[in-house]
Structure 1
């Protein structure tokens, strides 16, 4: 909290965003809340009547494209059943346990390496490389904070609103780097993959790097919030299968990001995301915000 306040003092807009997240402001409608937050973070007015930009259209979709199955699709536990039915359970990362509380976790039966994450938020994860290094008091505090998070209120992402919070324990996996898993993230527009991006060096001292690729696996000259890596990663062995599955999973959906991993030549599903960066991730150059926005065909709405 102190860190957020310090950042806010340096950047008044961020301080206002932090204040906006206070429970007091939950009385504000989703539409008004998103208009304020969009203005603070993107620095433009949010046009919901004639949205053109990618970030703009994601805000529109939060408000006007609400289907019950979306909640299952973003729930990191319930989505496993969805993926099993759609493409097959062999593409799921092995699940070691699912828990309603920290005290339910029996660390004695877990392997030396594993991954903990909540099913109902984004960005929260604990990667255990060695059980002997765990500070259980600190970990319990962190996990309990996860369980208390009401993620919907942070960005007004409706699919998260009624998810039952749980903790997942998954098998620890790394790719050929031996230290991490590269994320292959496919951007699907009305059921068609138009581009993808790769996240790498997530756990390095230099921080996360992100590179966009077109469908011919050429690097695109664009940044989104995070810096480019400066390298071109090899096209994944399962690229064509990734594209096929991504398009199958995103059928009849205006926008969906579908994530995969590749480990020793095997393909694994990551997650489904309706609102990357919650529609507040700036593009450089800004023209890509409009280009990607032009790829989304919004459904007819009575708004």
Structure 2
């Protein structure tokens, strides 16, 4: 679809929405959760959202509104992969780009960094650094971000250091969190389980299947809801991602278009219910 980057946003979104969902996109009277997210891309633009999706720039925002202690420690930033001094990095760390999604590499030991692995990573990140993520799904906040490769400290659960940490992702509507999901086993067999704000399990299935085991309620669930509301204040719809780790809460990211706004929820009734909560009047 990048070959269609010359198309106007509205036409591109109509084509891509049909390509991914098999449905026609109604911009005039959007109803469903995914339709309304596409409407927001075209009709509800806020330049300040670019700072919030930039994984570097958002750190200043979080420092101001919540506190630096809720950020994963930053180890460095580089305009080119070849500028990275791996000798100066710790034995374990995380690499990602600041301007896109899906570019994370978790390094659990520098022994992994063989010449072949480094060559693959160089090609991967140099390609990513040239990419304007905005064109993929016309998520306008990503347009114009100066790209970097960044390294963060690898954060681990003291009780399960070899296990991927769990994400707690809150769907917030006008500053009110109403639904959230827990992402488990991200590095092996990812599962998404949805809950209401009393942590009752919901029957929503979206992107990944539900876990085949009970999901425990996080200890700081009430505090999570409070900070999700605070971070999403004044925003028609946004997903606020948080982590609970070793008794502390950490910021993950702002996501203005869940799944790019193309991944429909099942059962279908949830597409309508979540869509009803996005106020476009």
Cα offset, 1:216, TM superposition: 0.8
Q: Aligned Cα RMSD in Å?
A: 1.1
- Structure 1 CA distance, aligned partners of 2:153 and 2:50? 24
Range with bigger deviation, 172-181 or 92-101: 172-181
Indicate yes or no: 2:255 matched with 1:273. yes
The aligned counterpart of 1:55 is 34
TM-score (normalised: structure 2):
0.96
Which of 160, 177, 180 does residue 160 from structure 2 map onto?
A: 177
Indicate conservation of the 8 Å contact 1:173/1:180, yes or no. Answer: no
Indicate yes or no: 2:187 matched with 1:203. yes
Q: Deviations over 1:19-64 (max 9, x none)?
A: x321xx2221100000111112111111111111000000001111
Which of 127, 131, 152 does residue 110 from structure 2 map onto?
A: 131
Cα offset, 1:123, TM superposition: 1.4
The aligned counterpart of 2:49 is 70
Indicate yes or no: 2:121 matched with 1:142. no
- Structure 1 CA distance, aligned partners of 2:58 and 2:214? 31
Q: Deviations over 1:193-245 (max 9, x none)?
A: 001001111111xx211100111111101100211112222111221111111
Indicate conservation of the 8 Å contact 2:97/2:149, yes or no. Answer: yes
Which of 156, 162, 170 does residue 186 from structure 1 map onto?
A: 170
- Structure 2 CA distance, aligned partners of 1:33 and 1:174? 41
- Structure 1 CA distance, aligned partners of 2:73 and 2:220? 19
The aligned counterpart of 1:9 is none
The aligned counterpart of 2:145 is 163
- Structure 1 CA distance, aligned partners of 2:104 and 2:52? 19
- Structure 2 CA distance, aligned partners of 1:213 and 1:276? 16
Indicate conservation of the 8 Å contact 1:219/1:232, yes or no. Answer: no
- Structure 2 CA distance, aligned partners of 1:279 and 1:267? 27
Indicate yes or no: 2:273 matched with 1:291. yes
Indicate yes or no: 2:100 matched with 1:121. yes
More helix by share: 1
How many residue pairs match? The answer is 276
TM-score (normalised: structure 1):
0.89
Indicate conservation of the 8 Å contact 1:189/1:255, yes or no. Answer: yes
Indicate conservation of the 8 Å contact 1:117/1:168, yes or no. Answer: yes
In structure 1, the gaps of 5 or more residues are 1-19
- Structure 1 CA distance, aligned partners of 2:35 and 2:18? 11
Indicate yes or no: 2:146 matched with 1:154. no
In structure 2, the gaps of 5 or more residues are none
- Structure 2 CA distance, aligned partners of 1:142 and 1:125? 11
Cα offset, 1:177, TM superposition: 3.2
Indicate conservation of the 8 Å contact 2:33/2:264, yes or no. Answer: no
